[in-house]
Chain A
Amino acid sequence: MAYLDVRGLAKSYVTRRGTTHVLGGVDLTVDEGEFVAVVGYSGSGKTTLVSLIAGLLVPDAGDIVLDGARVDAPGPERGIVFQQYSLLPWMTVYENVALAIDAVNAEKSAAERRAITEDLIRLVNLTPARDKRPGQLSGGMRQRVAVARGLGMAPKVLLMDEPFSALDALTRATLQDELTRIWGERRCTVILITNDVDEAILLADRIYPMTPGPGAVLGDAIEVALPRPRSRRHMSLSPAYQKARHGLVDFLRNARRGVA
């Protein structure tokens, strides 16, 4: 069994206007230390998938097993970086990150926890802004705080729900590069949800394409055979990039036409 094993995950929402089938049996596996991306159109149910793996929603059917344990509630071993950052606006950068550090390191001394927090803030290049509140930060800086907080949970798997989708293109590129660097240093297990094919190829080892809903499912994973460290400048010329990109784009187009 894989490190993270998701089997037959289904979820519907019941509203007054009827039932919406969002996910219709999602299968997904992630190995330890692997960076996996899920790519799909907006509104296809990607956020629902993340919320289910995080345990914030309860599935109608299917199983999630992480490192041999069944997932049935939220917990910091599935750290999450939310799409809308979800920083607590009344706390400084330091306090936002420390909230996670303190929650998962209760047995450590205050000095150790402080050191971990400062380390993470340095890792995401926010030391000069450590005492600012989210309201005083740009979107890119806020998302760095959210990444630091997610890593601070010392998760077995870090879930990232379209972390850069609210950012402008330039900031997004910078943060993608930083995420590559951070992942190179930490080698944590990551699931990245995105609607950006190039972002997925730049960052991930394997990419699952998602069919548009209702009743979304994942296609077969596509390996990204690009060597690391990757550079966005040289990447687009390589045959491995072309192969991954064509595979994904073909799947997504066909899925939308209802062929897949």
Chain B
Amino acid sequence: MLNRQKRKLLLPFLAPALLLYCVFFLYPAARTFHVALTSWNGITPDLPFVGLDNFRELADDPIFRGTIRNTAVFTILGAIVLFPLALFLAFATSEKVFGARTFRFIVLAPVALSVATAALLWKFALNPNFGLVNGLLGAVDLEEWSRPWLGMESTAMIAVVLATIWHGVGIWMIFFAAAISRVPQELKEAARIDGASSWRIFCHIVFPLIWDVTRILIVLWIIGALQAFAFIFAMTGGGPFNATNVFGTYLYDAAFVESRFGYAAAVAVVMFGLILCFTAIVTRLTRRATVQY
């Protein structure tokens, strides 16, 4: 009786969500797949069918291959810097230390800035002629270290990654802090009584217990990093010489600069596939028995 009633209820309750899902996700996604098979220029109403030509062109395009490499560098470099930093900040500010809350607020503050504002702020700070960074280097007699940070292939990506992390680390710190706060206090106290240092407590108690949250955050970072656009667009536009050109900027150029919406849709399809694959792989690789506490 209950199951029958539940079954009866299933459809009407699911229908609105399904409708919204179809209208706002499935249809646009299907349409993107369709446009990817055309040479639509975004202007004319007709969508000339070109089959898989856009995908073939993508495969042959050295700039697109470069964007794959750049996106991977952005993702990996970002993760290497972001996760230890966010974990450290979260762990440090979760301890009862004087000024921890103020410090946490300071780290979190940049999140309140819009991406465009934060990117412009960094762009000005890194300006070779009137920027803060080169100015500081000059002030401490290290002028020979000053350089056009965003204008050199060797430093542009690092600068963009650091700016992105500066802007977002606060929110990742909060995620980790929330996870750390769920670790039973008595476990940490017991370890401390046994003479364990903070580092050992973190490595052997806290980190293993927040691993499930960490792996979800890693997946979220990968998804976000593969879609990176705003910071790079505002700071370097993908340059110099495509050194910071990632999927997002490449797609934007194809669509809005080149008016090649069919080709841009093909990039979006490839991006979609890659995000799915990477998410599945990382989820699989980081899976392990859940620790109950």
Do A and B come together as binding partners?
no
B: residues with CB less than 8 A from A are none
A: residues with CB less than 8 A from B are none
